[in-house]
Amino acid sequence: MRTDTATDRHVIEATALRRRYRASGSKATKRNSANTSPTATRGFEAVRGVSFTVARGELFALLGTNGAGKTSTVELLEGLAAPSGGQVRVLGHDPYLDRAAVRPRIGVMLQEGGFPSDLTVRETVRMWAGCTTDARPAAEALEMVGLTGRAEVRVKMLSGGERRRLDLALALLGNPELLFLDEPTTGLDAEVRRETWELVRHLRDQGTTIVLTTHYLDEAEALADRLAIMRRGRIVASGTPAEVTAARPARIRFELPPAVSAGELPLSVPAAVHGRRVEVRTERLQEALTELLLWARDKQLELVGLDARSASLEEAFLDIATGEGEELAA
Ligand SMILES: Nc1ncnc2c1ncn2[C@@H]1O[C@H](COP(=O)(O)OP(=O)(O)OP(=O)(O)O)[C@@H](O)[C@H]1O
């Protein structure tokens, strides 16, 4: 019986987490990687004091450019490596030291599953099920990811997208409370991507806590309850997708009406004019838009191509994750 209410609320608690890759030959290795760069041989701190929590039933996305430290962080949560500093609790346990307690309760979808390619899909799932506590039936796992019709096909004959779905089926076998999805839709076509999103939403709605790393910002925007953006080993922005984008200016675009010059636009709306295209960037979208529309009505002008929208997560991400300036607060 679990009595710890903080644990019930927070499936993951990471506090000032650090991870340093030591010089070559150390035990601190990263899965699927054999980094022999000079940086790696000198030792390199990939995670530099990261703190966050993930609540039960929440879908939390970890974003960042290549090399930001996402995989290095997630591996600490999965118990694949010990942190070099800070603390991590997963389902109330240290995932590295208490791996036996944590592992049966989590599902991990790796970036590259790496299973024997001569086995069929069904054989692969059965083999994996043999290593999984209370595995769900193979047929059920395949049905969930839409691979039922491919059960007798050898893994080496699968497309890249089908392999990702097989990876997902394996991660779901143990009916995990906590699911780690590492770029789950890479290589999937648009339709299968949407189906995967539906499955992920369904799992979340059933109460599965999900940690997602992805390079697709529309995926994070569509799925995440909360997200964190990493840059150079630190979390530089976090919150709901709406909170992360709210701090970024919205934009309004339209065609400058004929017989109107740029100088005649309402002054309190600072606008950039390129040819006849007008673009307004503003942190007060509603106010600026109202002012513009009232001005247009007053002048009886039609604003052709009018398009007003809040910043997308993609715009916010590019601003935040690739920014070269001072580090933003987490
Ligand atoms: N085994 C290793 N030894 C030394 N440095 C490493 C090792 N593995 C990763 N790194 C470095 O740690 C940093 C973070 O890498 P990590 O893979 O965690 O980033 P990421 O955000 O997951 O990137 P990606 O989106 O490309 O998967 C990178 O600079 C990387 O080169």
- What string of DSSP letters covers 283-296? S-HHHHHHHHHHHH
Claim to verify: residue 34 and residue 153 sit in the same structural domain: yes
Question: Packing angle between helix 190-205 and helix 160-172, nearest 10 degrees?
Answer: 10
Q: Which ligand 1 atom sits nearest the alpha carbon of residue 64?
A: 21
Claim to verify: residue 158 and residue 254 sit in the same structural domain: no
Q: Whose CA is nearest to atom 10 of ligand 1?
A: 46
Cα distance between residue 303 and residue 278, in whole Å:
10
In a domain, 326, yes or no: no
Alpha-carbon distance values, 18 to 41, 64, 73 (Å): 18, 17, 8
Claim to verify: residue 118 and residue 132 sit in the same structural domain: yes
Q: What is the pLDDT along the chain (330 residues), one digit of tens a residue?
A: 444 455 568 999 999 999 999 876 444 444 544 445 554 456 899 999 999 999 999 999 999 988 999 999 999 999 999 999 999 999 999 999 999 999 999 999 876 656 677 899 999 999 989 888 888 999 999 999 989 999 999 999 988 888 888 999 999 999 999 999 988 888 788 888 888 898 899 999 999 999 999 988 999 999 999 999 999 999 999 999 989 988 788 899 999 999 898 888 886 777 899 989 999 989 888 999 999 999 999 999 999 999 999 888 888 888 887 764 444 433
Q: Give the total residue count for the chain.
A: 330
Task: Using alpha carbons, select from 236, 196, 249 the residue that is nearest to residue 64.
Answer: 236
Claim to verify: residue 213 and residue 255 sit in the same structural domain: no
Cα(282) to centroid of ligand 1, in Å?
36
Claim to verify: residue 56 and residue 98 sit in the same structural domain: yes
Report whether residue 69 contacts ligand 1, using a CB cutoff of 6 Å. yes
Cα(71) to centroid of ligand 1, in Å?
7
**Contact call for residues 223 and 197 (beta carbons, < 8 A):** yes
In a domain, 317, yes or no: no
In a domain, 315, yes or no: no
Residue keyed to tokens 């506090």: 15
Cα(33) to centroid of ligand 1, in Å?
9
Q: Answer yes or no: pTM beyond 0.90.
A: no
Cα(187) to centroid of ligand 1, in Å?
21
Report whether residue 71 contacts ligand 1, using a CB cutoff of 6 Å. yes
Claim to verify: residue 227 and residue 281 sit in the same structural domain: no
Claim to verify: residue 216 and residue 140 sit in the same structural domain: yes
Q: How many domains is the chain built from?
A: 2
Domain boundary among 200, 227, 244: 244
pLDDT at position 324: 47
Q: Where are the alpha helices (DSSP H) in the chain?
A: 5-9, 38-42, 70-77, 99-102, 121-130, 138-144, 160-172, 190-205, 217-223, 241-246, 285-299, 313-321
List 10's β-bridge partners, or say none. 55
pLDDT at position 325: 41
Cα(290) to centroid of ligand 1, in Å?
47
Cα distance between residue 127 and residue 138, in whole Å:
10
Query: How many C-beta atoms surround the C-beta of residue 82 within 10 A?
Result: 14
Instruction: Assign residue 304 the CATH number of its domain.
Output: 3.30.70
279: which residues sit within 8 A by CB, 6+ positions away? 251, 252, 253, 271, 272, 273
Report whether residue 66 contacts ligand 1, using a CB cutoff of 6 Å. yes
Q: Whose CA is nearest to atom 24 of ligand 1?
A: 66
pLDDT at position 186: 83
Task: Using alpha carbons, select from 185, 141, 178, 139 the residue that is nearest to residue 163.
Answer: 185
Cα(26) to centroid of ligand 1, in Å?
16
Report whether residue 67 contacts ligand 1, using a CB cutoff of 6 Å. yes
Give the helix/strand (H/E) hosting 113: none
Cα(117) to centroid of ligand 1, in Å?
27
Mutational pocket test of ligand 1: of 17, 18, 20, 21, the residue with most ligand atoms within 8 Å of the beta carbon: 21
Domain boundary among 244, 270, 296: 244
Per the structure, the complete domain to which residue 275 belongs is given by 249-310
Cα distance between residue 73 and residue 230, in whole Å:
10
pLDDT at position 296: 94
Cα(73) to centroid of ligand 1, in Å?
10
Q: Which ligand 1 atom sits nearest the alpha carbon of residue 75?
A: 18
Report whether residue 5 contacts ligand 1, using a CB cutoff of 6 Å. no
